[in-house]
Amino acid sequence: MKRRHTLNALALLCCVGIQCATSAFADEPKKVAFVDTGNTGRSVMAEAIAGQLIAQRHAHIAVISRAVDEDPYDEKPEENGVILMKRRGIDTSAHRSVQLNANDVKHSDVILTMTDKHKEKVLALYPSAAGKVFTLAEYASGKHLDVPDAWGKPIDFYESVTAQLDTYIPAALDKVATIAPAKQ
């Protein structure tokens, strides 16, 4: 009799543990990494725009931005990008470039690159990212288009890049909101 009660108690604890683990898992935000060459321009603006949209929508999504290249490291964001984000009420001036790493890949539900070359490099460095790395345009619209690099170009070129980001990011966030979080 004692053994049966012990087994029933253990079964109940297991079920409660599974429910708690499932609830905790459901509370985790979906995680998106925006990736470009040096994490000083496009990916920084994408993270900023997405973060603002997430706050406005009260979405349960976390975003980061990363570089696929080793250099630059710990660099400031591009001045024209900072100016454009400031016009939107977003201060990106404190951002410093960070490289994509294995932990970012593991914990991201979706990795959105700015170009096909970035996507290829992420997949070459992290084959485990297959199935969750896409170009931003591909993920948002099914189109195979790159978001061009504005580095060193005039501010009007940056404005055209942010216009592309404004087109793709809302659709990408809508899609991210419908997926199950990554298994840790």
Q: Which CATH architecture has domain 29-176?
A: 3-Layer(aba) Sandwich (3.40)
Question: What is the torsion angle, in degrees rounded to the nearest 10, for the CA atoms of residue 100, residue 102, residue 103 and residue 105?
Answer: 70
- pLDDT value, residue 86: 99
pTM: 0.85
Of 145, 107, 152, 99, the closest CA to residue 125 belongs to 99
What's residue 14's pLDDT?
38
> Cis (ω within 30 of 0) for the bond into 77?
no
Which of 106, 157, 163 is CA-nearest to residue 137? 163
Q: Domain locations in the chain?
A: 29-176
- Give the strand pairing for 30-36 and 110-113: parallel
Predicted local confidence at residue 131, as pLDDT: 98
Per-residue model confidence (pLDDT) at position 114: 99
Average pLDDT, consecutive stretches of 10 residues, N- to C-terminus, the chain (184 residues): 42 37 63 98 99 96 96 91 99 98 98 99 98 99 98 98 99 95 66
Closest CA to 42 of 125, 124, 158: 158
8 A C-beta contact, residue 53 and residue 170: yes
Predicted local distance difference test score (pLDDT) of residue 15: 38
- Residue 184 has a pLDDT of 59
